[in-house]
């Protein structure tokens, strides 16, 4: 496996950054997870736009243009001859000292990994997930803007630990006002009376690329799409439920906190949305040219 480290392709064993890098010391950095389907890097431009927006918000200067970063991502995928898989693109504040001051970091570090990923076993895409809400609350927006995809994921990790302790693969995080925000790494949708409903961005959710794709699919299917506040009552009484994310794709949810959704089986509209999403994965994005 070849890793792109600051523009140079190096073997996995040689892909090393300094222990003084502030991405490691303080979680000071941003990242994107991106999918490859049949040699098509799905919505790569949208991911790069979000990466640079996240970096701008935390006042992190990425040392190359968006166009050049796209080239580096494509180069990494081609070098690994990866047709289907997952890309992790990370930009850290770079090497500094043991203090917090980001001004001590002279230049950002970036690296790109292209590999396989399995977030959930295949059986759960067929049969659905059982998930649980947890006590860990979403960080308030004023403390950590949820639209920034930062390296600081401790809030999500603590929620994941709670879910694991409860025997569940995934958690639903509630915000400080008592509204549903998202899962530990995914956005959440419910279907109720032909309405496709997902929490608004101000509820403390990441503006997911897959989330936006599913919203577009819902509109094309003539569903009443709503971005609004959602409580656990809405989850428990939903006709159908599913999660979305780059790594997770679209996965059905059939039980929440012991309450069955749609009789404990994936719903009809959820399956339709899953099929429509799959159709788009090889159509929208940037094609990779591989060496023969």
Enzyme catalytic residues: 149
176 vs 18: CA distance, rounded Å: 37
DSSP category for residue 97: -
The position carrying tokens 């929620």 is 159
Buried b (16+ CB within 10 A) or exposed e, 209-231: bbbebbbebbeeeebebbbebbe
The position carrying tokens 């961005």 is 201
162 vs 151: CA distance, rounded Å: 20
116, burial (CB in 10 Å: exposed 0-12, middle 13-18, buried 19+): exposed
166 vs 171: CA distance, rounded Å: 9
Residues in the chain: 292
156 vs 172: CA distance, rounded Å: 10
44 vs 73: CA distance, rounded Å: 9
Distances (CA, A) of 42 to 167, 221, 245, 273: 33, 21, 12, 17
């Amino acid at each position: 496996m070849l890793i792109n480290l600051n523009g140079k392709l190096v073997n996995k064993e040689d892909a090393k950054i300094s222990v003084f890098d502030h991405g490691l010391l303080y979680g000071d950095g941003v990242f994107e997870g991106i999918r490859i389907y049949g040699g098509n890097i799905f919505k790569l431009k949208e991911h790069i736009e979000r990466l640079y927006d996240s970096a701008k918000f935390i006042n992190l200067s990425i040392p190359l243009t968006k166009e050049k970063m796209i080239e580096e991502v494509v180069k990494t995928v081609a070098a690994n001859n990866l047709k289907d898989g997952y890309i992790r693109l990370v930009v850290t504040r770079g090497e500094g000292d043991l203090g917090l001051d980001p001004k001590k970091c002279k230049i950002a570090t970036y690296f790109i990994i292209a590999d396989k990923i399995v977030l959930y076993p295949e059986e759960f895409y067929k049969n659905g997930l059982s998930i649980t809400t947890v006590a860990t609350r979403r960080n308030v927006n004023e403390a950590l803007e949820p639209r920034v995809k930062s390296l600081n994921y401790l809030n999500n990790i603590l929620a994941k630990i709670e879910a694991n302790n409860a025997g569940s693969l995934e958690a639903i995080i509630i915000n400080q006002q008592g509204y549903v925000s998202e899962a530990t790494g995914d956005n959440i949708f419910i279907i109720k009376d032909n309405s496709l409903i997902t929490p608004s961005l101000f509820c403390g959710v990441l503006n997911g690329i897959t989330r936006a794709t599913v919203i577009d699919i819902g509109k094309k299917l003539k569903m009443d799409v709503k971005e609004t506040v959602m409580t656990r009552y809405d989850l428990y009484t939903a006709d159908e439920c599913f999660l979305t994310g780059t790594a997770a794709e679209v996965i059905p949810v059939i039980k929440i906190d012991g309450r069955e959704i749609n009789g404990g089986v994936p719903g009809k509209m959820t399956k339709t949305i899953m099929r429509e999403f799959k159709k788009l994965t090889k159509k929208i994005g940037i094609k990779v040219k591989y060496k023969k």
